[in-house]
Structure 1
Amino acid sequence: MTFEESFTPRIPVSTYRLQFNGHFTFPDARGVISYLHHLGISDIYASPYFKAKEGSLHGYDIVAHNMINPEIGTEEEYNEMIRELRKYGMGQILDIVPNHMCITSNENSWWMDVLENGPSSVYADFFDIDWEPVKIELKNKVLIPILNDQYGNVLERQELQLAFENGDFFLSYFQHKFPIRPKTYRDILQHGIDRLKNHLSPEDPNLNELLSIITALNHLPPYTEKDQEKIAERYREKEIIKKRLWNLYREIQEIQAFINETVKMFNGVKEKSESFDPLDHLLNQQIYRLSKWSVATEEINYRRFFDINDLAAIRMENPFVFKETHTLIFKLIRNGAVTGLRIDHPDGLYNPSEYFRRLQRNCFLHKRLNLTGTLAETPDGETALLRQYQELLSKDSQMKAFYIVGEKIFIKGEKMPEDWPIFGTTGYVFLNSLNGIFVETTNAKIFDDIYGRFIRSKVVFQKVVYEKKKLIMEVIMSSEVNTLGHYLNRLSEKNRLTRDFTLNSLTNAIKEVIAFFPVYRTYIKPSEVTERDRRYIEIAVSKAKRNNPAMSESVFDFLKDVLLLKYPENFKDADQKEWLDFVMKFQQVTGPVTAKGLEDTTFYIYNRLVSLNEVGGSPERFGVLMETFHGQNIERCKFWPHTLIATTTHDSKRSEDVRARINVLSEIPDEWRSCLTRWRRLNKKNAVVAEGQTIPDPNEEYLLYQTLVGAWPIEPMTISGYEIFKKRIKDYLVKALREAKVNTSWINPNANYENIVISFIEAILNNTRRNKFLKDFQIFQKKIAHCGIYNSLSQTLLKITSPGIPDFYQGTELWDFSLVDPDNRRPVDYNVRIKMLEELKKNEQEVAPSALARELTINKDTGKIKLYLVYKALNYRKINREIFERGEYTPLEVMGEKAIHVCSFARKLDNSTVLVVVPRFFTRLAQQPDSMPLGNEVWKDSFIILPDEGIGKKYRNIFTGEVVVSSHHKGSTILYLSEIYAHFPVALLERIA
């Protein structure tokens, strides 16, 4: 590595997401790297593969940040994968998780240490725990909401079991283990000690050793100790005590029998309530308080990842936590194994911009170490490298030494914070913009009417968002919001002008402002409130005021002043710090509330056209204007040319091919209305009326029909294949119903309701001749699928050629009709893909390109046409990367009868020009399942206008090899669409003369 390379990031040409888990391992990945290289991929984009909870399918439930997950492979297998990447000159972007850790696994040694040692644990500051919460019973304790029933019931069913092993007492609850606080070992050992004394003589050395151990336990420093020397003493002595106790247990039969008998006594006797008193007393003295899982919504006192009790937030703002959690990451960067990072959920961080700055700085240091050796071998080591970094940064404040993207969700019109030293995001803005141009925007009002009439109600999107964000705060995240309320109440008490605000009014004000918050979060930092953040806060407070005329405006004004850091005069530094800390905590809450209220609730309720219900999307906007799409591409080309752009991700609500189909509905509202009317009538007999309610309700039935249209397999199904598909639909609908939280939910599942819906699905998909619905549906779906294929091809080419780095989710190079996770994490059959690509490369040698292109179009259902498009376009981009990374982006005007059906632009750099021309709205171009949107009969006299290119210029279509020549038409230089689309439904044209 040269000096320049040490601060020049590797920019991918394209990325391919791989989902690592026990079913797809490092050897499996190594086996597909050659295929991905030939496909045109430059970098794999790896899901988290550090040690996670046993059986994890996604890797986000990490239990050890500095260990490779053994379920995914060994260190040698990992190194073999890296060597294979290097063989093909490929890089690796790694998805990392700086926000949280899984705490329900016994393998999380940091969390286990906290549960054993409390506030005095060396890891106590790693986790975002409130040791002095509102509920006084939880002072210096951690609530663990893990039980499946009320604590007392669980205790007396003997599901909580005391055990002794290797010198440690611990509590087991099924597969979970909880450490017993060492000082309370004395309560166990003293219980029935008289029995042992009666059995052994007072001079017995083993008895005296046990009594000495009990005395030593009495002298352990308390778990609330803050003095570092006392903490060290406690750690040292407790481990010595455990060794002494274990030696006694192993070597002395009487002591072993005594401890075993005592443990059995503590575990009680069924149906004898008083027998559980000793264990109950012991558990009340522990650092944790076990409770039923649902208690978390109101009383939990550690910050969670969203509302997931299993995932506890870590305090990445603490430099020591940052260092300890990034040790392995930086080692992999130093070794060149990892060449880029994807940061999961930066909005959950206390100070995202500071995290990114620290991350870039350390990535630079460790890349330089690859050149200079260890820090110790460099004069002044780290200081010298940091000085070098600051000098480079002073010359170019926008310098970024390492390729980093963040998983950031934007609301309409929101911009990336300017002080984030990253290359962009994971592509949701592009995904929604691209998807939107395949929706017929002029039919918005018609679809409002269709949807409203079918569900017999009018759904106002923004009203639903407001209501569901309130629901999240009142039911799922009430603990976090109530904590903020108490925090704000303490702040109000510091000033005589605000001390009369009640706790209730302050908490309600927080809820209302968050419910109206127009973005996921603000990014206020000490003494810095940007105009962007000020505007969002003022909008939220203004709307909250208008919506609550009965509440005093002064309460909202106080909250606004706090959020904008408008400190009262003569406020002390300590008081200002408290205000700032409230703001930082407030910002960490708004994001999860918005995500849960919007993406995970509203998106399952507002079902007008569900292809628009995508992460980062705005379903109330019925599609995107072509001018908007081009404008966003131009902006990205100028400001974020290396951001990821995606069409499907592991978090997508639906795959790109599912959305491509559902979008077709927007073109044919009248036919869609007729189908819905028939299908409701045909399936009415399968619905159930219970307590005056039809099950499924109309909104759920409406969602189901769209889901079937989008997800129906393209290939003929075997009997077993059909059963698998039906199960996928059933599983999806149950999840969708629970996410909607209308008739059932995750917190309070309505099993009877869900079973009726499952029975409804089974009935309407019953594959018999008498099922008139299924016959009618399949005729309609075939037409939708036909047009959806062309939609998918168009959006795929636009992704590959638009400004940004095209990202592919595993398996989507062929047709993929997956729904939301876990459906989209099903295994990918790479053998099929590898064989298909080999066949394509062979076909290229044997068949003329135009003939191959037409044959692929005729047999489009196999998916080989999509693979061919990806293979040709990605490899062309790889060879000509400069024009796509640095080239100008110019929208091209389309004229003629079919003008509305085309999206076209030019990429230009120096004397090179590439034209991208893709069609859309295929129901009017290829109306029958056997027709193709090709040739003069379809495109007639429509054309694209070429700026500053001149007449007689030749352009070669990389998919067909055909050459089209520009001509003159009424003062313009043009290319006819009938010539461009002679044999293939999309075009990537390079100027050759």
Structure 2
Amino acid sequence: MTDPVKPQAPPRPTATYRLQLTPDFGFAEAAELTSYLAELGVSHLYLSPILQASPESRHGYDVTDHSRVREEFGGMAGLRRLAARGLPIVVDIVPNHMTVPVPESRNARLWDVLRHGPGAASARWFDLDWIGGQVALPVLGPGADPEAEVVADGDVLRYHDHEYPLRGDGRPAGQFYRLVPWRDAPGYRRFFDVSSLIGLRAEDPEVFEATHEVILRLVAEGLVTGLRVDHPDGLADPRGYLARLRERAPVWTVAEKILVEDERLPGDWACEGTTGYDALNMVTRLFVDPGGEEPLLDVFVRHTGFPPDYDAVRYEAKKQVLEEFFTGEVDRLTREVPELREAFVELLADMPVYRAYAVPGEEHPEETLRIVRAAAEAASARTNPEAVAKAADLALYGPPETVVRFQQTCGPVMAKGVEDTALYRWYPLACLNEVGGEPDHFWVSPDRFHRYCQGMAPHTMTTLSTHDTKRSEDVRARLAVLSELPAEWAEAVAEWSAQVSFDPKLDYLAWQNLMAAWPIGADRFADFLAKAAREAKTSMSWADPDPSYEEGVRAFAARAIEVCGPSVAAFTERVDRYARANSLGQKLVQLMMPGVPDVYQGCETTDFSLVDPDNRRPVDFAYRRSLLRAPGGDSWDAAKLLVTASALRLRARVGADLPYVPLETEGIGRDHSVAFARGERAVVVVTRLPAGLERRGGWGCAPIGLPQGRWRDVLTGVPHTGRVPYAHLLARYPVALLERG
């Protein structure tokens, strides 16, 4: 007998387009875009989570039922109709958690656990901490009177909009849960510090099968041809999970893994790569002028009073979130060794990455040992070195529960301490403050960028904007210009601050984002600043709101626009002379570098969105469709759409596996351009640091040598060969995309 032939995996994408589905924009609306997206040049449609979530959810990561495609989007029938439009589909899946909804009965699995306790059929689904036979549910509001507010109603216990199953004589006591104040730690692992998202045990084969039932069926039927895995670092065994997923769903898969600086994706993960934040940060820094670092840092320190040392701010932020939000996680980690609590806290605060990938019972990779030992060395300077050494040893070689729990705690502490705290406190140049970014690592040289690209996995995802970026790519393109105009920027901020001020810890972030998102309405601007203030946690936070402070934020936002708007507009107009080049340059680099490029909804033209929910606003696709049908024109939007469509279509023609070959540049070209070839089929040349280029008098007669052969710029139709003056090559656009022939 011959071995059965495995079904052939579907083709990998050449490019994807991410759509954020909402109750207002479901499968039917997505289907209307498939012809436009195919014409744009993407090969695959990339959808936000599609399983049943809370009915009102605008993002879909709060799954309530893994057995159904979301009704608000059109259900299974709607998904089939979308797939029938012919554009292959990639979906975002959420293996780490599901929601604790209100009312709680919306989650049948959770309801089963609350009703039947540890013996429930669904008890193995969740990462629960049974203390005294009960799970703590943090829902009681400030000053709540449980005797009066928690009431029995038949076989249900009600607390305002919450409801829980009752057993026995119907009294609140004697249940498998206990209601505790909302600030208390929950009796379950959660997503970061979000108690409304309960951790799943995807490492359990039965849980894996049940939570992936629909997704695996869609893959088997060919309706889904690629997967994006949300937050694998939260899982007990990311490597094992991805291996099981690949075995059951042998399709192109990328993982939302946040890599910091030189960190690389674990080589034994069964996926093609990451969702692209590593590429995003490298591309952004490629367009930042190193000469602006010191003057912008000086302006930042002078205006905010924050220290010039980012490491100190990051450490303090991580310590703060550990003490305010993660006491329950630390309690659970140190339950058997309470005397090591402080040592574990310091070790967690000094971990430089989201996870070090220690696997119980296995010999640890050298990189894992290096990371944990470096953190232990730093922590030893702050507390008892012997205790830290013991904690580090337990984190690496202790009981499996301790090793895994430590790994699962590192990610939330990094996410909340760095992404959602430190990056809102330390922002000399806010375009560097992205997920996985290190704002004190100011720039990268073309040579370093080339080395990075040569080491990339060929089918990893790349991106410039996502539903989680703190600023869209074009906001960052404007901000990067400040590194070339630090003196002018300092003068402008001094002028604006003299007229309108509120909180020094927030104002300087406000001026950067007001300029970079201009024009922006007062409500949008105020919403952004209020969120930024809550995340920074210096004057208010999500846990400790301050209505009077927020009122001040909103008054500042309105007055800043009213008083300084004309001046901000004038400064932005000056910035845009150079930001346009940054915008087109970073877009072309991202679309043509190794990997599978993703275009976030609407970003084929300019988009000046800030952090969510601002970046999930409806997109004017009719406008973009009209531009695509009538190419040409000198507007920034028209140029960006031309670059996007031309690059996507070229990638589809030449394929994704071509070698990345840096092109030699010299003189002014070495400082102000980035150039590379993809095999012998395509050449990319983009302008870098355009303001500095202008100060040097432009390109002059400086040439760039093209690879042998005849080339045609697909943006302009102009042929080129041999050594070509930059001024000629980049006469129409600040970028060139050449195809052989």
Q: TM-score, normalised by structure 2?
A: 0.96
Tell whether 2:151 aligns with 1:179: no
Shift of the alpha carbon at 1:485? 1.7
Residue identity opposite 2:156 in structure 1: F
1:660 alignment counterpart: 477
- 1:459 pairs, out of 305, 308, 319, with 308
Counterpart position of 2:343? 509
Q: Secondary structure at the match of 1:125?
A: helix
d(CA) in 1 for partners of 2:644 and 2:353?
35
The 1:810–1:358 alpha-carbon spacing in structure 2 relative to 1, beyond 3 Å, is: same
Counterpart contact for 1:709–1:784, Cα < 8 Å:
no
The answer for the alignment partner of 1:206 in structure 2 is none
C-alpha distance in structure 1 between counterparts of 2:675 and 2:668, whole Å: 16
Q: CA deviation at 1:162?
A: 2.5
Aligned 8 A contact 1:899 1:942 in 2: no
- Tell whether 2:264 aligns with 1:473: no
Letter in 2 for 1:945: G
Q: Percent identity?
A: 37
Residue 886 of structure 1 deviates from its aligned partner by 2.1
Q: Does 1:892 align with 2:688?
A: no
2 CA distance for matches of 1:421 and 1:68?
A: 26
Q: In the aligned structure 2, how far is the partner of 1:795 from the partner of 1:513? A: 37
Task: Give 1:4 shift.
Answer: 7.1
**What amino acid maps onto 1:419 in structure 2?**
D
Correspondence list, 1:243-642, <5 A? 282-296=171-185, 300-363=186-249, 401-487=250-336, 489=337, 503=338, 505-528=339-362, 529-548=364-383, 551=384, 553-565=385-397, 579-636=399-456, 640-642=457-459
Q: Distance in 1 between matches of 2:380 and 2:306?
A: 28
Q: 1:329 Cα deviation (Å)?
A: 0.8
2:595 is matched with: 804
**Structure 1 runs of 4+ off > 3 angstroms?**
2-5, 896-899, 924-927
Structure with more of its chain in helix, by fraction = 1
Residue 704 of structure 2 aligns with an amino acid whose one-letter code is I
- Aligned partner of 1:113 in structure 2 is 112
SS at structure 2 position matched to 1:680: helix
Alpha-carbon distance in structure 2 between the residues aligned to 1:155 and 1:733 = 39
* Deviation for aligned residue 1:646: 0.3
Aligned with residue 742 of structure 1, among 538, 541, 544: 538
Distance (whole Å) between structure 2 residues aligned to residue 4 and residue 792 of structure 1: 47
1:480 counterpart letter in structure 2:
E
Measured after TM superposition, the shift of residue 347 of structure 1 is 0.2
What is the CA deviation profile of residues 604-653 of structure 1, one whole-angstrom value per residue up to 9, with x for unaligned ones? 000110100000111011121211111110101xxx10000000011101
Does residue 763 in structure 1 map to residue 597 in structure 2?
no
Do the aligned residues in 1 keep the contact of 2:433 with 2:439 (CA within 8 Å)?
yes
Instruction: Give 1:777's aligned residue.
Output: 568
What amino acid is the match of 2:405?
K
Instruction: Write the deviation string for residues 546-595 of structure 1: whole angstroms up to 9, x where unpaired.
Output: 233xx2x2212222222231xxxxxxxxxx7xx12211111000110011
- 1:524-558, CA deviations, whole angstroms, 9 ceiling, x for partnerless residues? 2232111111111111111111233xx2x221222
2:85 maps to 1:94 = no
Aligned to 1:269: none
Contact 2:14–2:596 at 8 Å: present in 1 too?
yes
What is the aligned partner in structure 2 of residue 698 from structure 1? 504
* Count of matched residue pairs: 736
In the alignment, the residues of structure 1 paired with residue 18 and residue 437 of structure 2 have an alpha-carbon distance, to the nearest angstrom, of 21
Shift of 1:820: 0.6
Partner SS state of residue 284, structure 1: coil
Does the 8 Å CA contact 1:964/1:979 hold for their aligned counterparts? no
Contact 1:659 1:710 in 2 (8 A): yes
Q: Which runs of 5+ in 2 are unaligned?
A: none
- 1:988 Cα offset (Å): 0.6
Could you say which residue in structure 1 is the equivalent of 2:650? 876
Indicate conservation of the 8 Å contact 1:10/1:340, yes or no. no
User: Post-superposition shift, 1:899?
Assistant: 3.6
Measure the CA separation in 2 of the matches of 1:989 and 1:486: 62
Partner of 2:25: 24
**Native 8 Å contact 2:285 2:442 kept in 1:** yes
Q: Is the 8 A contact 2:62 2:197 kept in 1?
A: yes
Aligned to 1:849: none
Once the two structures are TM-superposed, the CA of residue 926 in structure 1 deviates from its matched residue by 5.9
Write out per-residue CA displacement over residues 293-321 of structure 1, whole angstroms, 9 at most, x where no aligned residue: 1123xxx2211111001000011111111
Measured after TM superposition, the shift of residue 123 of structure 1 is: 0.6
Q: Which residue of structure 1 lines up, in the alignment, with residue 710 of structure 2?
A: 954
**Pairwise CA distance, 1:875:** 1.0
SS at match of 1:12: coil
828 and 457 in structure 1: CA distance in 2 versus 1, 3 angstrom threshold? closer
Deviation at 1:171, TM superposition (A): 1.9
How many angstroms does 1:292 deviate by? 2.5
SS of the aligned residue for 2:438 comes to coil
Distance 1:645 1:75 in 2: 29
1:67 matched to which residue of 2?
Answer: 68
User: Aligned to 2:64, what secondary structure does the other structure show?
Assistant: strand
Query: Among residues 131, 135, 142, which one is paired with 1:149 in the alignment?
Result: 142
Query: 1:108, 1:532 → 2: CA distance?
Result: 40
Paired amino acid for 2:174: Q
Give how far 1:467 is off: 0.9
Q: Match of 1:328, SS?
A: helix
Q: Give the SS at the match of 1:479.
A: helix
Structure 1's unaligned 5+ residue stretches are: 133-138, 186-281, 364-400, 490-502, 566-575, 688-695, 714-721, 841-851, 928-932, 967-973
Deviation at 1:178, TM superposition (A): 1.1
Indicate the SS of the match to 2:506.
Answer: helix
CA RMSD of aligned residues (A): 1.8
- Cα 1:457–1:321, aligned 2, differ >3 Å: closer, same or farther? closer
Q: SS at the partner of 1:765?
A: helix
TM score, norm. by length of structure 1: 0.72
Deviation (angstroms), 1:284: 1.8
Q: State the 1:37 CA deviation.
A: 0.4
Cα distance in structure 1, aligned partners of 2:721 and 2:60: 52
8 Å contact from structure 1 (residues 607, 699) kept in 2 = no
Note the C-alpha offset of 1:289.
Answer: 1.3
* Contact 2:360 2:403 (C-alpha < 8 Å) held by counterparts: no
